[in-house]
């Protein structure tokens, strides 16, 4: 390596490290969803600090909800069933970009979604982690092809609300804590939005 190339290489490495560092940070917020800082994602979950998140619920034209089984080596809730996409926006990232990025990254598709409601919850997870999120909840419809990322998704399926409720009643440990909290309000929202009973 020449002396001329060294500064560039070091600068490039610093830029890459900074980008990775920022990608893995979450946005800390107050009870009104106003940003109060940022923190490394794992540290925020270890300390149980309130941070911004989003959850996307996708239905097909038959009124069935898209569920996915989280990859077994996820840092929490591995192997549990949950809604289509659950994630965090990056610091400085627009909401629309975050939604598109995670839909494409996790499930291999994108569709337009609309804001349904906000929901704040706190759940103690395995390994001493705490999920304390100001969750912005979105809803959309999709009937096309899916191409899930195996690093994120172990399996997926479309299921009726009635079947989901029955599965939770019988085996609630198979579902993520936030999904069990959100299934009722999102079901009611879907019903009011479409003016029909879920199947």
Catalytic sites, residue numbers = 86, 133
CB 82 within 8 A of CB 68: yes
C-alpha distance from residue 174 to each of 70, 91, 151, 180 (Å): 11, 31, 19, 10
Pairing of strands 35-40, 51-59: unpaired
Reported as type and span, the H/E element at residue 165 is: helix 161-170
C-alpha distance from residue 123 to each of 4, 133, 156, 180 (Å): 52, 9, 24, 11
C-alpha distance from residue 185 to each of 16, 42, 64, 161, 181 (Å): 41, 28, 16, 12, 8
CB 113 within 8 A of CB 28: no
Half-sphere exposure of 46 (CA within 13 A, CB side): 5
């Amino acid at each position: 390596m020449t002396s001329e190339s060294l500064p560039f290489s070091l600068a490039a490495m610093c830029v890459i490290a900074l980008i990775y560092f920022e990608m893995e940070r979450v946005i800390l917020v107050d009870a009104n969803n106003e940003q109060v800082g940022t923190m490394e994602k794992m540290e925020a979950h270890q300390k149980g600090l309130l941070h911004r998140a989003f959850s996307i619920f996708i239905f097909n034209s038959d009124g069935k909800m898209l569920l996915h089984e989280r990859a077994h080596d996820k840092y929490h809730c591995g192997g549990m069933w949950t809604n289509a996409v659950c994630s965090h926006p990056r610091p400085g990232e627009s909401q629309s970009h975050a939604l598109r990025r995670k839909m494409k990254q996790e499930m291999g598709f994108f569709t337009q979604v609309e804001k349904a409601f906000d929901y704040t919850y706190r759940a103690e997870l395995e390994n001493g982690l705490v999920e304390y999120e100001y969750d912005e909840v979105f809803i959309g419809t999709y009937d096309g092809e899916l191409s899930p990322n195996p690093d994120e998704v172990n399996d997926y399926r479309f299921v009726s609300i009635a079947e989901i409720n029955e599965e939770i009643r019988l085996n609630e440990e198979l579902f993520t804590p936030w999904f069990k909290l959100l299934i009722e309000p999102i079901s009611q929202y879907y019903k009011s939005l479409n003016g029909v009973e879920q199947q």
